[in-house]
Amino acid sequence: MRLAEERAALCATGRRMVETGLVLGTAGNLSIRSGDLVAVSPGGVALDELTPADCPVLDLSGETVEPSRAPSSETPMHLAIYRSTPAQAVVHTHSSYAVVVSATHTELPPVHYNALLLGGVVRVAPYATYGTPELAAHVIAALEGRQAALMQNHGAVAIGPGLAEALAGARLLEWLCQVYVQAKTIGEPRVLSEDELVAVIGRALQGHETGTRWGLTSSPPPESRG
């Protein structure tokens, strides 16, 4: 079976997406790239019920290399991301707070400095029907210089060098959306200024944060930071 390890990783990550509430039912999808091949979750299958054999393998043009179930309807978006960014994994969710923010805002402002882990302000890609080239183009534009984006009236997408990092980005984005939505219920959230964000980056570069650079870890969780 081609990309056996990658397909097994899709199944493990899909289960984690369900466990953490990022998807419900058959919503959401994910993929991983290996060279010029991509393993993607199939359509119409709950992510916590996937088996490696369920996950088709495609090339970057969308041609099936190893047939299985029909690929997710969002596969064109995944392939467009791989053709346009250095991403090696993509996680797409329909998480509750991400959908709320995407349906009401054109961006998610940085109300917490951990927004820097995703590149800063999170853009909302304009609405387009799922699975279309228009949606893929909107998402590519929203991801420029970012590790995640929201999709208007739809959900969220996070990318990374691997599935662990992409999942961490999706979890972090949902947490940031939740903080913002809950803050709006009691007042107008204070947004961090550019100078304040630059100061956080400077502190990280000086070695005060874990690691030597500002980047995602496989398990944020945001509340573990100071």
Q: Which residues are catalytic?
A: 74
Compute the C-alpha angle 135/140/142, nearest 5°. Answer: 95
Can you give the length of the chain in residues?
226
Could you tell me whether strands 64-66 and 37-40 are parallel, antiparallel, or unpaired per DSSP bridges?
unpaired
Distances (CA, A) of 8 to 34, 82, 136, 175: 13, 20, 26, 27
Longest alpha-carbon distance in the chain: 54
- Residue 194, token pair as written in the block: 């550019």
